[in-house]
Amino acid sequence: MTARILGLDPGLATLGFGAIACTPNAKDISESISCLDFGIIQTPAKQDLGERLKTIYEDLHALLDQVQPDLVAVEKLFFYRMGNTILVAQARGVLILVLAQHKVPLVEYAPGQVKQAIAGHGNADKYEVQQAIARELNLSQIPKPDDAADALAIALTAWFNHEI
């Protein structure tokens, strides 16, 4: 049986997503995981906040209908600039609402946990994590943009932590 994990990297301007398919107990470890899709949901900076949140709401509903995940993994909110953190928190609230409406289980990981799971240590830089993502998913190149790569890393973290 194959399970689908959707990773989400929350943001108001750019919300990254990455979907993977996982086969528990696969005989060949290289065939136990594959990349289904990745990308971003973008909202224009000049658009009204309510409209931006509405776009995220609608696009997440469509994404969940398309991917039909068994589990969603989300990066935990961390504080770096208060103004930006509040906006990300609002987008994250919409994200959690949509997941609840779809009745999809949610797990959360701090950025350090993702780096540890993907690169083997919590101080890994972005490029090191991106190389590990490409290697684990047998991708010919590093996934772009960065937000999508981060979302794939979050999905992989859920898989590596045996959440399914």
- Identified catalytic residue from 31, 58, 59, 75: 75
75 in catalytic set: yes
For residues 154 and 132, give the distance between their C-alpha atoms in angstroms, rounded to a whole number. 12
48 catalytic residue (yes or no): no
Nearest to 160 by CA among 128, 131, 137, 130: 137
Residue in 48, 136, 147, 163 annotated catalytic: 147
The burial class, CB within 10 Å (0-12 / 13-18 / 19+), for 116 is: middle
Residues near 85 by Cβ (< 8 Å), separated by ≥ 6? 77, 78, 79
- Is 136 known to be catalytic? no
Catalytic residues: 9, 75, 147
